[in-house]
């Protein structure tokens, strides 16, 4: 694939997944009534997908490193589109839950590949802007999702929601598989660490399940398999997580920042729903209008972040963005008027949009091209664990009131700003550049 087509494919893949998640939330009440499902069953239409995708992201990224990101992306898109069509035709809620698991498996294949394709196609010094475009597109999808979903549910019905992404998924899936050319860099001969993948999958699945529906056995199983995974990775000759990725303090800090930022944001959005629709008495549409500045600022600030990374470096850019995010949460904890709410959500969007680009840039660029899929899988895992953790924390704290809950979530963002101090001070240099990358790079990377 050429660079332009790679960028378009990456953006479409990310948007298809983002739209699927946002429009599903709007469709769930109607789905529940139509299929005569219980509230628990409807919750599992989201939880089943989340567990499947979170547990497989890293291994899917390694599959892309070995067999080619474009190929894995193509099969992921085709499978995701087919599963979406299946959900739209499902006769009962049991079928919906099962097909959501299938969606999660194929979603795990395509998500790291969207980042792996960018890392393989763009020189390290030109990677920030494609990541910014991808983040801005996700922001647009987040803004459009509730509106589009509401229109489809009100008109054709909830089943139309799941047909929304079928055509683009099928089209770009076929295109990715049809294109010829180099598709991997350096990992084709690396053995797949299947035992490590299984241990990590159980660890993450148990962790997500215990966060969604708290029970001690889930955390205990996650801790046990996590210890076994670390022990296995230290002993195996071909670890699932390459040492050049896991041994990087910058990558670890960037992943921590992504977890903190997404936990703070999604915990705040969960809490704010009760403030807007409960304390302030707004209907869902009015609530969506109050939060619209979040998506707008995500779209606006993502491209600006590419410039900030060149001028200020990842450390200052990310630290300042996390501080802006924390300020937005604190403002929302005390806001009641329209202007104050708009300012709070705008700060959330500006902070999170910048963090998404800056931290993702560190994670993906620090890995060499042969480990780009694993790096993308780790980034996507952080962005799945963080929201689950944030919503779980908000749920546990809501009994003390919304203001104290939001204050704690602001403190989480502040911790992320502290973690950002471990990021590179200047432009990020990749650990290992392949010869073709050195030839393509016109500006040598600096720390």
pLDDT at 198: 93
pLDDT exceeds 60 at position 10: yes
Model pLDDT for residues 413-433, shown as the tens digit of each residue: 999 999 999 888 765 443 344
What crossing angle do the helices spanning 284-334 and 128-154 adopt, rounded to 10°? Answer: 130
Share of the chain above pLDDT 90, in %: 36
Distance of alpha carbon 214 from alpha carbon 355, whole angstroms: 29
Mean pLDDT of 62-82: 92
Provide the pLDDT for residue 430: 39
What pLDDT was estimated at residue 435?
Answer: 40
Q: Which of 43-52, 99-108, 208-217, 255-264 comes out lowest in average pLDDT? A: 208-217
Look at residue 412 and tell me whether its pLDDT is greater than 90: yes
Whole-number mean pLDDT of the chain? 85
For the chain, what percent of residues have pLDDT higher than 70? 91
Q: What is the pLDDT of residue 427?
A: 52
Tell me what pLDDT residue 48 has. 87
pLDDT at 438 over 60: no
Residue 63 scores a pLDDT above 50: yes
Q: Place 280 in a pLDDT band, splitting at 50, 70 and 90.
A: confident
Lookup: tokens for 411: 């403190």
Confidence category of residue 445, pLDDT binned at 50, 70, 90: very low
> What average pLDDT score do residues 216-222 get?
87
pLDDT tens, residue by residue, 162-208:
998 899 999 999 999 988 765 555 555 667 888 999 999 999 988 88
| pTM score of the predicted model | 0.83
What is the average pLDDT across 384-413? 89
231-274 confidence digits (pLDDT tens): 998 888 888 888 777 777 888 899 999 999 999 998 998 888 77
Residue 429 is classified by DSSP as: P
pLDDT in tens, 115-168: 989 888 888 778 888 998 988 888 888 777 777 877 888 788 889 889 988 999
Contact 401, 278 (CB under 8 A): no
Buried b (16+ CB within 10 A) or exposed e, 80-118: bbbbbbbbbebeebeebbbbbebbbbbbbbbbbbbbbbb
Nearest to residue 28, comparing CAs of 16, 15, 17, 40?
Answer: 40
The pLDDT of residue 188 is: 54
How many residues make up the chain in this entry?
A: 447
């Amino acid at each position: 694939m050429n660079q332009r087509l790679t960028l378009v494919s990456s953006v479409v893949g990310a948007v298809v997944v983002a739209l699927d998640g946002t429009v599903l939330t709007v469709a769930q009440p109607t789905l529940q009534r139509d299929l005569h499902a219980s509230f628990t069953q409807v919750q599992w239409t989201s939880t089943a997908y989340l567990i499947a995708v979170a547990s497989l992201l890293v291994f899917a990224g390694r599959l892309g490193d070995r067999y080619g990101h474009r190929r894995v992306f193509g099969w992921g898109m085709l499978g995701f589109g087919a599963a979406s069509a299946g959900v739209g035709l499902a006769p009962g809620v049991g079928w919906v839950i099962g097909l959501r698991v299938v969606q999660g498996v194929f979603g795990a294949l395509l998500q790291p590949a969207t980042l792996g394709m960018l890392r393989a196609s763009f020189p390290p010094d030109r990677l920030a802007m494609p990541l910014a475009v991808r983040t801005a597109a996700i922001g647009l999808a987040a803004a459009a999702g509730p509106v589009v979903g509401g229109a489809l549910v009100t008109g054709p019905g909830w089943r139309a929601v799941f047909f929304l992404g079928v055509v683009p998924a099928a089209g770009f899936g076929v295109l990715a598989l049809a294109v010829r050319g180099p598709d991997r860099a350096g990992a084709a001969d690396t053995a797949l660490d299947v035992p490590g993948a299984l241990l990590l999958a159980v660890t993450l699945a148990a962790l997500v399940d215990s966060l969604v529906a708290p029970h001690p056995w889930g955390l205990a199983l996650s801790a046990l398999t996590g210890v076994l995974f670390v022990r296995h990775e230290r002993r195996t000759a071909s670890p699932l997580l390459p040492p050049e990725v896991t041994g990087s303090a910058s990558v670890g800090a960037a992943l921590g920042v992504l977890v903190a930022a997404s936990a703070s944001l999604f915990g705040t959005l969960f809490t704010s729903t009760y403030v807007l629709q409960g304390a302030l008495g707004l209907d869902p549409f009015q609530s969506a209008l109050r939060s619209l500045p979040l998506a707008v600022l995500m779209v606006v600030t993502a491209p600006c972040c590419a410039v900030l990374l060149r001028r200020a470096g990842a450390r200052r850019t990310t630290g300042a963005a996390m501080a802006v995010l924390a300020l937005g949460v604190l403002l929302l904890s005390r806001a009641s008027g329209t202007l104050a709410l708009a300012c709070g959500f705008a700060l959330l969007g500006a902070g999170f949009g910048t963090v998404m680009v800056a931290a993702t840039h560190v994670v993906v660029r620090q890995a060499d091209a042969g480990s780009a899929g694993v790096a993308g899988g780790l980034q996507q895992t952080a962005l799945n664990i963080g929201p689950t953790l944030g919503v779980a924390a908000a749920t546990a704290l809501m009994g003390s009131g919304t203001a104290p809950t939001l204050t704690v979530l602001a403190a989480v963002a502040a911790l992320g700003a502290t973690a950002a101090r471990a990021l590179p001070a200047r432009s990020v240099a990749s650990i290992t550049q392949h010869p073709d990358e050195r030839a393509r790079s016109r500006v040598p990377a600096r720390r």
